[in-house]
Amino acid sequence: MKHEAFPLPLDATPADAQTVEKLRRLLEQERRARRDAEAIAERGLRELYESQVRLALLQRITDFANQSNDFGAVLDMALKEICVHMGWDFANAIRVAEGGREAVACNTWYAADPKRLFPFVEVSREFTVPRGEGLPGRVLRDDHPHWIDDIADEAWFHRRREALQAKLLSACAFPISVGEEMVAIIEFFSSKPMVDKDNILLTITQAGTQVGRVIERERARAALLHDALHDAMTGLPNRVLLDERCRAAFQHLPADRTGLAIMVIDLDGFKAINDKYGHHAGDALLVDVTGRFEAAIVAFQQSSGRAGHATLARVGGDEFVVLLDGLPDPEAAERLAALLHDVLRAPTQVDNDLVNAGASIGIAYSGPVYDDVEQIRRDADLAMYEAKGEGSGRTVTFTDALGTEARNRMALERELREAIRDKQFVLFYQPIFALGGDRRLMGYEALIRWQHPTRGLIDPGAFLPAAEESGLIVFIGDWVLRQACTALARLHARMPKGSGEPPFISINIAPQQFLQPSFAQQIQRVLAETGVPPDCVRLEVTEGVAIIDADRTRQVLEEIRDWGVRTSLDDFGTGYSSLSYLQNLPFDTLKIDRSFVASIDDPKSRNIVRAILDLAGSLNLSVVAEGIESQDQGRTLIEMGCEYGQGFHLGVPLDEKAAFALVDERRAA
């Protein structure tokens, strides 16, 4: 703006004119300086104002976003706040769907004047556009904001007619991204021009970041939840999620509680593969097996239209569970089990070897007898153990009989624990004699009995299998060992010195007990504590220990024999009776099984006994015949050259007092 020169008085001199002109220039300079200063101040004030208002807006959105876990609610709030802040008419949220191929309006919108905008809201709140089409489609395609300055000019804009009806003029749309991924688009419409685009861009981009954080948190939470409910290695549901699904499925059963089955799957030989090839191989096997099981389940569900719903879960090291609900027929679970066995037939490559992992499967069906799903789980578990007992690759479906048997076994197991705790076991001693000549008493075999509080004295055959199965045999075996040695020490103590060769004690050792890593030390400790001469202790083992781990069996036998302890191979002739065991394992004695003695009248049995005696002779082993029940049997064995024997005919098992009294009788005789 130019200002007119001040008019000069008529009598002004040229010098006056010059002075006025100078002052005019100075004034003009000052005026310009002031204008510049004002412009700078205005710019600063405008920026300050805008950033304050923007920050206040962002603060509101951020606060809300931080308090809410609901992406929809946060979007809703942000749309409204931005619209009001900008003085715009309409805002709308569109979710990115189909992996970024589509933009889907999600009925989240704000309208300043809903009545006027009604037709536009109607076409905007729910629609789907492919990538590249319409305003949100373009944002999705280009991953940057889009602007429309005059909707009337943009024929490509789908909702143009309705927008113009609503007197909308301008629009803009922005992506909301989480990391690299666009998750939503927000679009805004105004009946006025959108002027300050830099400011709008800055504001909405920052607001979008805050809104995106909700999704980020939503995803982090979902990931945590997923991790908490799934097995990390296979990605399958874990025990927690399975429990939840089981409970939910059980609750939805009809009144007769049919239609659900639980299948417990245990991989056979997994531990051996893990031990042999290492954990990485075991893990790879589990992942491979998981893939096969999943494929089998898909095939199962496709095989019939109404195959129900199946959840495969990994609940332990090598244990899987399938929850089947909505079962079409009573045999469906067995069909799936057969498919699962099938898919395991092809070997898995582990390192450079091919290994086979079979499975044992137990199935239990729901029914009116069940009060909760846990009981079904337990029964399926029980059936699985039953299947495992039958060998690899079996399926067993739970039945009431199985349940009764298992319950009895469990009750027995419980009683055995009480028996160990309350010291209800007693040892009986059966004398072992030299068969020839004076029938000298050589020693005793310690035999366990259970002094049951209500059922009286129980023979070992009635409880040792259960003890072995439950692992309690280890505790019982330790007790027998210590008890027998202590008793022998008492016997030795009351025998006068120089009264001849002291009797030995023969103690049965169960395979599980023998294979305890600390077994040899345990023997050593008992010997030291009881003070019995090691050569008066005979440990009887069966071939079973050698079958499980021949190398270790040999090492242990050698170690305890080094201390002078004697070793017997029990029940010889009944199992594999492998000659290689006899050759490789250090035994002192063979015990001929009672079954050969009982049928010794049969020439076949006699031949076997003779062969055993020959074998023992050539390997320099002594022989004890078990179960001699008649004079004839004893005589036949003597004739065949069997040195030692035990049995009812010679002496029944007796309690300690009666058994050890025999020593005195002998001496007295």
Partner 1 sequence: MKGVIFNLLEDAVSAEHGAEAWADLLDLAALDGSYFSLGSYPDAELLAIVDHASIMLAAPPAQILRWFGQRAIPLLAERFPPLFGHHKSARSFILSVNDMIHPEVRKLYAGAACPRFHFHDTDDGRLAMAYQSRRQLCHLAHGFIDGAAAHYGEAITVDHLACTHHGDPVCRLALGWHG
State the minimum distance, in angstroms, from the CB of residue 199 to partner 1. 11
Binding flag, residue 34, partner 1 (CB under 8 A): yes
Q: Among 20, 50, 479, 638, indicate the residue that binds partner 1 (CB under 8 A).
A: 50
Q: Among 18, 21, 49, 225, indicate the residue that binds partner 1 (CB under 8 A).
A: 49
State the minimum distance, in angstroms, from the CB of residue 142 to partner 1. 25
Query: d(Cα 552, Cα 558) in Å, to the nearest integer?
Result: 10
Question: How many binding residues for partner 1 (CB under 8 A)?
Answer: 20
**How many CB atoms sit inside 10 A of residue 570's CB?**
24
Residues 417-446 touching partner 1, rule: CB under 8 A, are none
If you ran DSSP here, which 8-state letter would residue 69 be given?
A: -
Query: Residue 433 is which amino acid?
Result: F
Query: d(Cα 319, Cα 217) in Å, to the nearest integer?
Result: 33
CA count, 13 A, side-chain hemisphere, 486: 9
State the minimum distance, in angstroms, from the CB of residue 81 to partner 1. 16
Residue 4 or 438: which CB sits closer to partner 1? Answer: 4
Residue 6 or 563: which CB sits closer to partner 1? Answer: 6
Question: Hey, what long-range contacts does 113-116 have (CB within 8 A, 24 or more apart)?
Answer: 113/89, 116/166, 116/167
Residues 153-212 touching partner 1, rule: CB under 8 A, are 192-193, 195-196
State the minimum distance, in angstroms, from the CB of residue 232 to partner 1. 55
Query: d(Cα 505, Cα 223) in Å, to the nearest integer?
Result: 64
Residue 48 or 619: which CB sits closer to partner 1? Answer: 48
State the minimum distance, in angstroms, from the CB of residue 84 to partner 1. 12
Residue 19 or 107: which CB sits closer to partner 1? Answer: 19
State the minimum distance, in angstroms, from the CB of residue 53 to partner 1. 8
Binding flag, residue 500, partner 1 (CB under 8 A): no
Crossing angle of helices 603-618 and 631-640, in 10° steps, is: 40
CB 444 within 8 A of CB 432: yes
At 511, list the tokens.
């395979």
Helices (H), 311-435: 332-343, 373-389, 400-422
CA count, 13 A, side-chain hemisphere, 133: 10
State the minimum distance, in angstroms, from the CB of residue 137 to partner 1. 27
Q: Buried (b) or exposed (e) across 324-363, using 16+ Cβ within 10 A?
A: bbebeeeebbbebbebbbebbeeebebeeeebebbbbbbb
Binding flag, residue 271, partner 1 (CB under 8 A): no
State the minimum distance, in angstroms, from the CB of residue 94 to partner 1. 26
Q: How many residues does the chain have?
A: 669
Measured over all CA atoms, what is the biggest interatomic distance in the chain, rounded to whole angstroms? 174
Residues 7-26 touching partner 1, rule: CB under 8 A, are 7
State the minimum distance, in angstroms, from the CB of residue 39 to partner 1. 9
State the minimum distance, in angstroms, from the CB of residue 31 to partner 1. 10
Q: Which stretch binds partner 1 (CB under 8 A): 43-51, 569-577, 592-600, 657-665?
A: 43-51
Q: Which stretch binds partner 1 (CB under 8 A): 42-50, 284-292, 433-441, 478-486?
A: 42-50
Q: Is 285 exposed, middle or buried (0-12, 13-18, 19+ CB in 10 A)?
A: buried
Tokens 């008793």, residue? Answer: 487
Binding flag, residue 610, partner 1 (CB under 8 A): no
Residue 196 or 390: which CB sits closer to partner 1? Answer: 196
Query: d(Cα 241, Cα 314) in Å, to the nearest integer?
Result: 10
Residue 88 or 444: which CB sits closer to partner 1? Answer: 88
Tokens 């549901």, residue? Answer: 237
Query: d(Cα 613, Cα 611) in Å, to the nearest integer?
Result: 5
Binding flag, residue 38, partner 1 (CB under 8 A): yes
Query: d(Cα 31, Cα 220) in Å, to the nearest integer?
Result: 61
Q: Among 5, 15, 528, 669, indicate the residue that binds partner 1 (CB under 8 A).
A: 5
Sheet hosting strand 146-148, strand order edge to edge: 128-130, 102-111, 90-97, 181-190, 170-178, 146-148
Q: Which stretch binds partner 1 (CB under 8 A): 41-49, 348-356, 384-392, 639-647?
A: 41-49
Phi, psi of 571, deg, nearest 5 = 55, 35
Q: Which stretch binds partner 1 (CB under 8 A): 2-10, 281-289, 351-359, 547-555?
A: 2-10
At 355, list the tokens.
């290994």
Q: Among 17, 23, 41, 233, indicate the residue that binds partner 1 (CB under 8 A).
A: 41
Residues 77-106 touching partner 1, rule: CB under 8 A, are 87
Query: d(Cα 55, Cα 608) in Å, to the nearest integer?
Result: 100
Query: d(Cα 374, Cα 382) in Å, to the nearest integer?
Result: 12
Q: Which stretch binds partner 1 (CB under 8 A): 37-45, 73-81, 249-257, 504-512?
A: 37-45
Q: Among 45, 84, 354, 611, indicate the residue that binds partner 1 (CB under 8 A).
A: 45
At 577, list the tokens.
């009776």
Binding flag, residue 30, partner 1 (CB under 8 A): no
State the minimum distance, in angstroms, from the CB of residue 3 to partner 1. 5
CB 540 within 8 A of CB 565: no
State the minimum distance, in angstroms, from the CB of residue 153 to partner 1. 12
At 15, list the tokens.
């010098």
If you ran DSSP here, which 8-state letter would residue 428 be given?
A: E
Residue 82 or 545: which CB sits closer to partner 1? Answer: 82
Q: Which stretch binds partner 1 (CB under 8 A): 34-42, 70-78, 206-214, 274-282?
A: 34-42
Residue 87 or 465: which CB sits closer to partner 1? Answer: 87
Q: Which stretch binds partner 1 (CB under 8 A): 33-41, 135-143, 475-483, 512-520?
A: 33-41
Residue 7 or 461: which CB sits closer to partner 1? Answer: 7
Residue 28 or 602: which CB sits closer to partner 1? Answer: 28
State the minimum distance, in angstroms, from the CB of residue 226 to partner 1. 48
Residue 153 or 551: which CB sits closer to partner 1? Answer: 153
Binding flag, residue 528, partner 1 (CB under 8 A): no
Binding flag, residue 351, partner 1 (CB under 8 A): no
Residue 2 or 494: which CB sits closer to partner 1? Answer: 2
Q: Among 1, 493, 668, 669, indicate the residue that binds partner 1 (CB under 8 A).
A: 1
Tokens 């063979």, residue? Answer: 590
Q: Is 195 exposed, middle or buried (0-12, 13-18, 19+ CB in 10 A)?
A: exposed
Query: d(Cα 51, Cα 39) in Å, to the nearest integer?
Result: 18
CB 362 within 8 A of CB 263: yes
- Contact positions toward partner 1, by CB under 8 A? 1-7, 34, 38, 41-42, 45-46, 49-50, 87, 192-193, 195-196
